Amino acid sequence: MNLPDATPIDVLLVEDDPGDELMTREAFEDNKIGNTLHVVRDGEEALDFLYKRGDHTDAPRPDLILLDLILLDLNLPKYDGRQVLEKIKSDEDLSHIPVVVLTTSSAEEDILRSYKLHANAYVTKPVDLDQFIAAVRQIDDFFVQVVRLPHRSG
């Protein structure tokens, strides 16, 4: 269900599993909204992307007016998702970015810690391919079509 006024957004997927990346790409492509999906494979690369460092000096800077979104796995190499989430939400320039934790963990301590670190949502990845794609579509639909955004200027 695509609303006529749905505006494409830039989404940063922080995911080290190529299979989960592929399923996420498929879910976004099937929604046909035209969102741009940027992918980084570990916590260090995620921070480089957000701070426009290293190989990511030309990365778009996330901005609430564009409602950019971060889909963040918890179990990542280098810096784990919890460390990345804590850094994002403690940085005045990044803290407004919606972060959805999208992970295999359904452990209560991971859920509680993620919300204490100010995650905007916590979604446990379904094991079933169709359910995984449906979950990502629902996230996409919510952040593109349901959430009210401030009007863009210019």
The 10s digit of each residue's pLDDT in 100-153 is 999 999 999 999 999 999 999 999 998 888 898 889 888 888 877 777 644 434
| Mean per-residue pLDDT, 80-108 | 93
Determine the residue type at 79: Y
What is the band of 58 on the pLDDT scale with cuts at 50, 70, 90? Answer: confident
How many angstroms separate the CA atoms of 48 and 55, rounded? 8
Give the residue, 95 or 63, on which the prediction is more confident.
95
Give the residue, 143 or 44, on which the prediction is more confident.
44
- Mean per-residue pLDDT over the chain, rounded: 83
151 occurs within a structural domain: no
82 occurs within a structural domain: yes
127 occurs within a structural domain: yes
CATH code, domain with 33:
3.40.50.2300
107 occurs within a structural domain: yes
How many angstroms separate the CA atoms of 23 and 148, rounded? 27
3-state DSSP of 99-135: EEEEECCCCHHHHHHHHHCCCCEEEECCCCHHHHHHH
**DSSP state letter for 62:** P
Give the residue, 43 or 66, on which the prediction is more confident.
43
Q: For the chain, how many structural domains are there in total?
A: 1
Half-sphere exposure of 69 (CA within 13 A, CB side): 23
27 occurs within a structural domain: yes
The pLDDT value recorded for residue 151 is 41
117 occurs within a structural domain: yes
| Mean per-residue pLDDT, 37-49 | 93
- The domain of 36 spans 10-145
34 occurs within a structural domain: yes
